[in-house]
Amino acid sequence: MESSKRAAEIGRFLASRRAKITPDQVGLPVYDAGKRRVPGLRRQEVATLAGLSVDYYTQIERGKVNSVSESVLDAIARALELDEAERSHLFDLHRNVLTSPQRTRQRRTTKTVRPVVQRLLDGFTGPAFIRNARHDLVAANRLAYAFYSPLYPDPLHPDLSKQVNFVRFCFLDPRAREFYPDWDQMADASVNLLRTDAGRDPYDRGISDLVGELSTRSDEFRVRWAKHNVRLHYTGTKSFHHPVVGDITIDYETMPLPADPGLVLTLYTARSGSPSADAMTLLANWADTTFAEHTSDQPSRITDR
């Protein structure tokens, strides 16, 4: 049953990608524009571009993927002009159709952040934190806890024993629209990243429970989730409005921790001499005087999914 659900997910993803591409974008002639019933490419057009028979490609979209080779997936990815994130997602979905849930679950053994990782966080001068595939905040240094204090019910006196989730905050907490000045962009990124992580481990009960909760409680989330968009998240710039120090624009670097599958490290820095750097200094002073007791003695958490 699980394998068939994963296979169906491949079909939905491929259909969503071909719906985004028009024939003229890929150099195909259009002789019947007024009669087209699909917004993007037809199945037969994708098959032609990929060098496949129409019947074979149709079977793939219907979930018949157990015997599909990587070369066929490559051909489909090229035909649909998939970017790096989309191509990786397609291969993740296909691999998980062929992998048993027992084998997948055995890879997830980490229950706590290792001491050396916490020391790395504490030694970084800017905000530094760890999230899991479900996008829970599981470990951080003092400045990162201060930075993300708005995710807690009382941001001026955050109870760090309570687990917070970045995606749940974005869609279910009205304060998120103030914390994220460009809320729509942040909402898109949150869903696309969660979709990417879900594709890597479709048997993650924590992710599926979160998706179910948010799909039920948030129309904004449900619409975005249905688009099947994915994203890789390594470097860039973000803007925030913090309730204590105001506007902050930061550069970020994000990287997975190979020794701790499913965990992702994020580092924030503000450009030297900028108003955001001044705001970060104020935030550090606030953190030192307001809730220093909540950091080094606070146990790191990773949900047993």
All residue ranges of the chain with pLDDT < 70 are 1-3, 31-36, 100-112, 291-305
Nearby residues of 188 by Cβ (< 8 Å), 6 or more positions away? 224, 229
Q: Judge contact between 169 and 177, C-beta under 8 A.
A: no
Q: Judge contact between 40 and 18, C-beta under 8 A.
A: yes
pLDDT of residue 102: 53
pLDDT of residue 101: 57
* 199: its two tokens: 């594709």
Measure the CA–CA gap between 130 and 139, rounded to whole angstroms. 5
3-state secondary structure of 165: strand
- Please provide the CATH number assigned to the domain covering 2-98: 1.10.260.40
Predicted structure pTM score:
0.87
Find the helix or strand (DSSP H, E) in which 267 lies.
Answer: strand 264-269
* 170: its two tokens: 């974005």
Give the residue extent of every domain in the chain: 2-98, 115-294
Measure the CA–CA gap between 134 and 243, rounded to whole angstroms. 26
- Chain-centroid distance of CA 157 in Å reads 28
- Please provide the CATH number assigned to the domain covering 115-294: 3.30.450.180
